[in-house]
Amino acid sequence: MDYVNGPGRNHLFVPGPVNIPEQVLRAMNRNNEDYRSPAVPALTKTLLEDVKKIFKTTSGTPFLFPTTGTGAWESALTNTLSPGDRTVSFLIGQFSLLWIDQQKRLNFDVDVVESDWGQGANLEVLASKIAEDKSHTIKAVCIVHNETATGVTNNLATVRKILDHYQHPALFLVDGVSSICALDFRMDEWGVDVALTGSQKALSLPTGLGIVCASPKALEASKTAKSVRVFFDWSDYLKFYKLGTYWPYTPSIQLLYGLRAALDLLFEEGLDNVIARHARLGKATRLAVEAWGLKNCTQKEEWFSDTVTAVVVPPHIESSEIVKRAWKRYNLSLGLGLNKVAGKVFRIGHLGSLNELQLLGCLAGVEMVLKDIGYPVKFGSGVAAASAFLQNSTPLIPSRI
């Protein structure tokens, strides 16, 4: 039974789940194994060691939860905070909204800093709140690195600077779901206390791993944090880490081998090269949008996201029609506008295992859909803008020289 058919490949340009490389599919094509044999811990050990590299941390402790990003959020919060704790959280789009909603339902006292959708987190407000908070009632600053709904990347280095400037001890919790492995992220340098991502994003795996990394300060906080938690509790993992068996409950054997393959691919290309590739594809996408005469939902260049671009459609067009048409006619999967921007934007995800020609095929497809839907696009205009940039900036594939 197949629900996605039609000739040729599906062009998957939603901002997650993203395309899985053949190498990773191959690695996961295997029977189950006994996770209590010596083999699975041996494999797990390499994963925990290597996963730290994608967070750019040496002091952090990673956890591979069998869950999604939503579960990873919950793990980050409940292990470090107690009910009633005050958090500062930025509402700038659907995913930050959902995280804030979770924080409220987990009984934290959420101090919401709201911006227009399309703007980044208002760090001036953060600075003033931190400045005022002499008694350190703020226990955590929670921020989404890259808001997937609007294509906005927040400046994490500035958050750290603010906290440091006021010598504020608040924990620094970062949702890196659509950033880590794709955007520049530096856990240790930026003093992030908990960072997290999901396997189906830039790591290019199936959904199923919520990867959480905790700083020593976060681990320390977890010893006294009173939020109720069992499945998401770090302490159970730490106990099994010490035993060398690693797993308090059954992991997905396939995802472990898949993660091994994904990390191997990542290191083979080089994490910085991967980030540079995302920057290239992100810029190419934005050049195409501009050439089409359409607006980027992201209001300032400083917030432009290299993993997802939310494109604003003219008022008379319903953006979900674009998404539907792309799927029905061209086997192209684009992202819908969500909540406040529903109907107003469609999204092009350009993260994960992608290359220039895949993106150009997508852009050509968007041009045809725009024409279908009645927008007077000039065929080839976006592709030309993107190509001119890419042809200048794309390196040779190093392993082929």
- Total residues contacting its own copies by CB under 8 A comes to 124
- To the nearest whole angstrom, how small is the minimum distance from the Cβ of residue 76 to its own copies? 12
Rounded-to-integer distance, Cα 172 and Cα 193, Å: 5
- Subset of residues 125 to 154 that bind its own copies, contact rule: CB under 8 A: none
- C-beta of 29 vs 59, nearer to its own copies: 29
Over the chain, what HEC string results?
A: CCCCCCCCCCEECCCCCCCCCHHHHHHHCCCCCCCCCCHHHHHHHHHHHHHHHHHCCCCCEEEEECCCHHHHHHHHHHCCCCCCCEEEEEECCHHHHHHHHHHHHCCCEEEEEECCECECCCHHHHHHHHHHCCCCCEEEEEEECEECCCCEECCHHHHHHHHHHCCCCCEEEEECCCCCCCCCCCCCCCCCCEEEEECCCCCCCCCCCEEEEECHHHHHHHCCCCCCCCCCCHHHHHHHHHHCCCCCCCCCHHHHHHHHHHHHHHHHHCHHHHHHHHHHHHHHHHHHHHHCCCEECCCCHHHECCCEEEEECCCCCCHHHHHHHHHHHHCEECECCCHHHCCCEEEEECCCCCCHHHHHHHHHHHHHHHHHCCCCCCCCHHHHHHHHHHHHHCCCCHHHC
- Binder to its own copies among 198, 221, 259, 262 (CB under 8 A)? 198
257 CB-near residues (< 8 Å, 6+ apart): 27, 28, 30, 43
- C-beta of 44 vs 57, nearer to its own copies: 44
- C-beta of 122 vs 331, nearer to its own copies: 331
**Binding flag, residue 224, its own copies (CB under 8 A):** no
End-to-end CA distance of the chain: 42
- To the nearest whole angstrom, how small is the minimum distance from the Cβ of residue 316 to its own copies? 20
**Binding flag, residue 371, its own copies (CB under 8 A):** yes
110 DSSP β-pair partners? 87
- Subset of residues 243 to 302 that bind its own copies, contact rule: CB under 8 A: 248-255, 257, 260, 264-265, 268-269, 274, 277
- Binder to its own copies among 232, 241, 246, 303 (CB under 8 A)? 232
What tokens were used for 300?
Answer: 């300032």
Q: Can you say how many angstroms the Cα of residue 146 is from the centroid of all Cα atoms in its chain?
A: 6
- Binder to its own copies among 166, 231, 240, 375 (CB under 8 A)? 231
- Binder to its own copies among 48, 53, 70, 279 (CB under 8 A)? 70
- To the nearest whole angstrom, how small is the minimum distance from the Cβ of residue 61 to its own copies? 20
Selection from 379, 373, 59 nearest residue 215 by Cα: 59
User: Is 347 annotated as ligand-binding?
Assistant: yes
- Subset of residues 76 to 105 that bind its own copies, contact rule: CB under 8 A: 83, 102, 105
Q: Candidates 110-118, 185-193, 224-232, 298-306 — which segment interacts with its own copies by CB under 8 A?
A: 224-232
- To the nearest whole angstrom, how small is the minimum distance from the Cβ of residue 87 to its own copies? 14
Q: Candidates 123-131, 144-152, 302-310, 379-387 — which segment interacts with its own copies by CB under 8 A?
A: 379-387
- C-beta of 111 vs 367, nearer to its own copies: 367
- Binder to its own copies among 81, 106, 123, 313 (CB under 8 A)? 106
Binding mask 151-190 for its own copies (x = CB under 8 A): ----------------------------------------
- To the nearest whole angstrom, how small is the minimum distance from the Cβ of residue 299 to its own copies? 25
- Subset of residues 327 to 356 that bind its own copies, contact rule: CB under 8 A: 327-333, 335-336, 353-356
Q: Can you say how many angstroms the Cα of residue 306 is from the centroid of all Cα atoms in its chain?
A: 11
What tokens were used for 265?
Answer: 């691919």
Binding mask 9-48 for its own copies (x = CB under 8 A): xxxx-x-xxxxxxxx-xxxxxxxxxxxxxxxx-xx-----
- C-beta of 100 vs 156, nearer to its own copies: 100
- Binder to its own copies among 62, 69, 118, 282 (CB under 8 A)? 69
**Binding flag, residue 227, its own copies (CB under 8 A):** yes
Q: Candidates 53-61, 146-154, 201-209, 300-308 — which segment interacts with its own copies by CB under 8 A?
A: 201-209
- To the nearest whole angstrom, how small is the minimum distance from the Cβ of residue 114 to its own copies? 21
Positions at the binding site? 347
**Sequence ranges of the binding site for substrate:** 347
